[in-house]
Structure 1
Amino acid sequence: MLNFAKPLPKDHAEVARQIKSRLFDEERKKRIFNPASRTIGIDKDALDRQVHEKKMLREQEKAKEEAYSKKLLQDCATSIRLDEQNRKKQKQIDLEILDYRRKHQAPETRREYDLNDPLQFKKGQPSRIDDHDPRVTVSSGQRFEGEEGNSKEYRNEQIQQQRVWLEMQVREKRIADEEAKNAERTWQEIEEMTAQRAQSLACLENECRKKLVEATYRYNQALAAEKEMNKRIAETENNEDKMAEVYNAMTGDFLTENPELGFNSALGPGKICKSLYKGLTPAMKQAIYEEQAKQRHELKIKREAFEKREKDWAELLNMLAKCGTLSDREMQRKKWTLEQEITDFNLRLANEKKKEQEYFNNVLYKGQASEEFFNQFNKTTR
């Protein structure tokens, strides 16, 4: 009764390894026995994937550059719009400050305005109204003995003097008003000049920004052109390298099967490298052909000599036959001896030919492959 033991884990691993090896060999057969892959020498699907990936990378870089250009234009437009808004806000703030100063910070509301008030003499009271002014005391030095403060002439003089002062104040006020108007006009002109200058600076800044954007765009275009040119140069060099590699492979010693490679063995001169042996060289073939021709010529000479000897012996036998039957036996014996020598000579020639053929088969033509040797290939992937 057979006893089948339970399979061990290493048995499962061995079965899995064999199945994996078998699948790998099947896949390798499909790849090796594929004429397109074997002719090209590389994986065409991998090349197609690489070309597709490079194309996708170029499209992504192009989209990234376009997005960067759009973002740059949007940022420039946003910056210009924000600058315009900032200028408008600053102008509005300046106008509000001026309006606030005009409404809430007038010169009349200042604490020290009474020191600079042009109408302070009109608004104030005289230091002395009459002799009985209660503000005038003894220590004030406003009233002295003997002065005529209350006389009519003195009053008229004071009135006249006040009129002169009033005229002077009116004139000074007019002059001050004119100076204030001139100052206001000058300030307005300065403000207009400042606004014009700010507008011209804004226009100049906008023009500079436009030129900067145009220069950036031209620079990006130049960089893109340079990048494209470098890419074309790299592709051209790559194609030239590939063509050179194909040409070198086609004209190399491996594909052309240069027979001289088999005789350049590292073991020394006269040794044959079996892995690179491609057959005899034309010089060796020519030497063999010459040796065979020489052997044929020698055989021809020997055959002619043999025929000549045969002919001579035939003539001699005929002549001896005419001489009589007494010497017939002696002649037959000599003929047999000569034939035996010829037989021995032929045997020696045959042995030499056999040794030569054995030398050709076992030494010179030892690496010659048979039909079975070639039939064993293209059966597996190993």
Structure 2
Amino acid sequence: MVTLKRQNKKLHTDRALGGLRCSKESVKMENSEVMSVERRRAAEAARQKRIFNTRNRVIGLDRTALESQVAEKRERENVEREQDKAFESLRAIHDVLVKQQCEDEERRSAALSRELVQFRATHQRAQDSRDADLNFNQQVGSTHSPSASEEDLGPASMQVFQGGDGMDREKKIAEMEENKRVLTAQRQEREKMCLHKKSIELLWGRAQLQQDVRELQLSAAEDEHKREAQVALSKYNQAQAAERAEQQRMERMKDEGENFAEVWHMMTSDLLTECPEVAERGGGGAGPSVLRDRWKGMSAEQLSVIRRQREEQVAEKERRREAERQREAAWDSLQKGQSRQGEEEGKRERERERERRTEMDRFNTQLAKEQRAHQQYLDKSLYTNRPAVSYFKQFNNSSR
């Protein structure tokens, strides 16, 4: 009995261990399946991202073109960098020139100021002015007191008045100092304004100088292009002129050769040389040669032969003319017959074309009726279940 209980307990223990092992294995299998599903999902997402990328799928990438564009951009940047360096060097030179010009202007202004101060100190002294006696307490003649009489001053002097305080030197000195301070402040303000105006003019001059330099560069480049175009045009014109001159020379040589050949032919022909063999060739005789200075013209037999040949030629020409008239008449009649046949054939062809068009219109009308009937059958009988938007959305959602 005890042994049976032990066996049952052992059996239950083995079953529990087996269940635990199975559960562990099932967990492992589920984990592997989940990981496999995740891998497939990630692969599917990567594939969709790669396939549904419009730029790569539709446009594509031209590596050669991109590399050429990059090379062109680098070359353009190098050229721009070189131009900037050239402009920097040119600007430094212009800055030196402007600085030197400003220094020269300042030296000239200082020299003018010194000359003006010296001129004023020499020719425009305050002591020499008309009101020097008021500013510097100087009076004409002897020194007068407030109690000076009219006999001492004179009726036209008008320098001392009754009730005035012309002898109050402290008040005059204070007024002179105040005027001096005001004039000094005005002079300093005017100098500041002049310096500000000069700085503005200097900046404006620099900007104008840079603009002028740019315009000079552009005009120089334009002049260079125009010069090159003019040189090319002049070379082309020179080549055309040389070719035309050569053609004219060849034509002139050809005309001269033809004229020389014609003159030579006339000089050596039987017409001018009066060759004695002419009579023998014309008459066929074998007599002695005729002297040039005694030849009197052709004989009557030669003339009769020439007249007979001319009459034969006239008769032959008349026969040819008559044959030509007959051929033309036959050709005219043939053309008229052909044109008449062509007109009749055209009429028949137009009639047949009209019949074909009538038949085609009838056929097209019947075909249109059949197509309308078929379309009505498709719209009302066959295609009654129209697909919804969800039907089209189910496509192009997967990369498989």
TM-score range, shorter chain: 0.3 to 0.5
Taking CA–CA contacts closer than 8 Å with sequence separation of 6 or more, which of the two structures ends up with the larger relative contact order?
2
TM-score (norm 2): 0.31
TM-score (norm 1): 0.32
